[in-house]
Structure 1
Amino acid sequence: MKYWMMVWLVLATSAVAAPRSQGTPGEFDFYVLSLSWSPTFCLTHPDNEQCSGKGYGFVLHGLWPQYARGGWPASCSAQSQLSREEIEKGAALFPTRSLLKHEWAKHGTCSGLEPMAYLEKTDEALGVVTIPQQLQPFNTPPSLQAREIEALFRESNPRMGNHGLAVICKGKVLSEVRVCLTKDLAFAGCPRSVKTQCRDGEIRIPAQR
C-alpha cells in the first residue's frame, strides 16, 4: 500500500512540475481570420492610434492557427522579434504596429512559417474574404441581427458555406467576425469551438470614427 502511495505521489508531482505545452509550430488544423469592427474597439480605446479619425470599419485582428478539437497553440517561440522589413509589411495589414507585434508573437509563431511568409499568408487570407458592401465604412446600418450579418457575408462569399464564420459581440455591440479557413486558405466549416457569440435580436453597429 505504501509502495503504491509513493508511486502515486511521484506521478502527481511530475504532472504538476511538467511545463505546460504552448504548441508546436506548424502543428494545427485550420486558421481563423479574425476581423475586428474598429468602431467598437474605439469606444473603449479612444486614445489608441487606430482610433484617430481614420474611419476604419473591419480591420485585421489576426490570422490564428486553431485545433479542430478546440483551443489553439500560442506563443510558440520566444524568438518573436520582427525585422524592419517585416514590420513595414505588417504595418500595411494591421491597424497598428503594436497589434502586429502582439499577433506575430502570440499566433504567428505557431504557424510554422517565417515572419514574412506568415505576413504574406495573412495578406492572402484577407484577399480571400470579401467584406459585404452593406458593412463597408460609412455605409452600415445602426443595427442588425447576428444572423443577418452572417447572411451578408455568405452572400458576398458564395463558397463560404452555412457554417463558415462566427459573429462575436461585446454585450449588445458588434465586436468581430471570425472566418474559418483551411491551411491552404480555402473556406472551411467552423467546428463547435468557433461559434457566434451574440444575443438574440438586434445588435448595435457603432459608426466609424
Structure 2
Amino acid sequence: MKSTVAIPLRVLVATLLVFLSKAQDFDFFYLVQQWPGSYCDTQQSCCYPATGKPAADFGIHGLWPNYNDGSYPSNCDPDSPFNPSEINDLTSKMQTNWPTLACPSGNGLKFWEHEWEKHGTCSESVLDQHGYFQAALTLKKQVNLLQILENAGIQPNGGFYSLSSISTAIREATGYTPGIECNVDENRNSQLYQIYMCVNTSASNFIQCPVLPNSRCSSQRIEFPSF
C-alpha cells in the first residue's frame, strides 16, 4: 500500500516541477523592430512580400523571451506547431506591421511560423499562439519608433546620426533605454537596423532592459537609409 501511494506522489511532484520550470523559463521579452531600408540595403538585398512593398515604417521582427544574463531559450515545444488558422483575424495587421522581406517573396506565413516555433513556444506559459502575435502588435502600436525619431530630427533620408542621439530620442519619448543594432550597407556604412525594447513577462508593459544586445554600431556615424 505504501509504495502504491508513493509512486503517484513522485510523479505528481515531478510534473509540478516541470510546470514551474516552464512558467519561470524566461525573465523578460525583447520586442525587436527592424528598419526595412537597412534590411534591403545590404549585399544580400531583399524581396518584397506578395502583398507588395511594405510601408516605410519599422516592422516587427519578433517578440523574444530572454534571460537576464543575455542568453535566451529557443524551440521550446516541438509539439506546438504554428497554426495559421489561429491568427486569421490578425493576418491583415501582421502583413502591415510584421512583413517578410526574405527571398523568395512570400506571404509572411513562413516568417511567422519561424518566430512562433523558435521564440513563441518559449512563452506558452503566459501566451498562446494568438496571444503571442496579438501582444507584439499591441506593443508596436504603443511605441511609434519612426515618429519618435522624426520628431527628434532623425529622418530616414540617408543622413548620418550618432548612436547617442538615436538612443536619447527613444529614451526621452518612452522613458526606457533601447537596444540599437546596426548592420552595414554595400559601402560598409554602419546603418540603423533593429531597435530592441524590453517588455515584462506578461508582454503587457515596457520595462527598463536588464541587458542590452551588442549594438555593432559606429558611435558617431550611423546611416538612416530611405526605403
Relative to the length of structure 2, the TM-score reads: 0.70
User: Which of 211, 216, 222 in structure 2 is aligned with 1:192?
Assistant: 211
Compared CA separation, residues 176 and 50, structure 1 to 2 (3 A):
farther
1:168 counterpart letter in structure 2:
E
Query: Are 2:202 and 1:176 equivalent residues in the alignment?
Result: no
CA RMSD across the alignment: 2.6
- Report the more deviating stretch, 76-85 or 28-37: 76-85
CA deviations over 1:29-73 (Å, ceiling 9, x no partner): 001000001111122333242895333321000111100122111
Q: Is the 8 A contact 2:64 2:119 kept in 1?
A: yes
1:127 Cα deviation after fit: 2.7
2:28 counterpart letter in structure 1:
F
1:180 Cα deviation after fit: 1.1
- Report the more deviating stretch, 190-199 or 108-117: 190-199
Match of 1:105 in 2: 117
Q: Is the 8 A contact 1:66 1:73 kept in 2?
A: yes
Q: State how 1:93-172 maps to structure 2 within 5 Å.
A: 93=94, 94-96=98-100, 97=108, 98-112=110-124, 113-133=127-147, 135=149, 139-141=155-157, 142-157=159-174, 159-160=175-176, 164-171=177-184, 172=190
2:169 counterpart letter in structure 1:
L
1:89 Cα deviation after fit: 1.6
Match of 2:7 in 1: none
1:25 Cα deviation after fit: 6.4
Q: Is the 8 A contact 2:160 2:223 kept in 1?
A: yes
SS of equivalent to 2:61: strand
Match of 1:71 in 2: 71
2:112 counterpart letter in structure 1:
L
Match of 1:47 in 2: 47
Q: Is the 8 A contact 1:39 1:57 kept in 2?
A: no
Size of the alignment, in residue pairs? 181
Compared CA separation, residues 64 and 87, structure 1 to 2 (3 A):
farther
1:206 Cα deviation after fit: 1.2
Q: Is the 8 A contact 1:60 1:95 kept in 2?
A: yes
1:202 counterpart letter in structure 2:
R
Compared CA separation, residues 120 and 29, structure 1 to 2 (3 A):
same
Q: Is the 8 A contact 2:180 2:213 kept in 1?
A: no
Identity of aligned residues (%): 25
CA deviations over 1:64-93 (Å, ceiling 9, x no partner): 110012211101111222132415525523
Q: Which runs of 5+ in 1 are unaligned?
A: 1-22
Relative to the length of structure 1, the TM-score reads: 0.75
CA deviations over 1:140-175 (Å, ceiling 9, x no partner): 342211111111212321x32xxx311100131111
The CA distance in 1 between the partners of 2:163 and 2:113, in whole Å, is 31
Q: Is the 8 A contact 1:35 1:58 kept in 2?
A: yes
Give structure 1 regions of 4+ aligned residues with deviation exceeding 6 angstroms.
Answer: none
1:117 Cα deviation after fit: 1.4
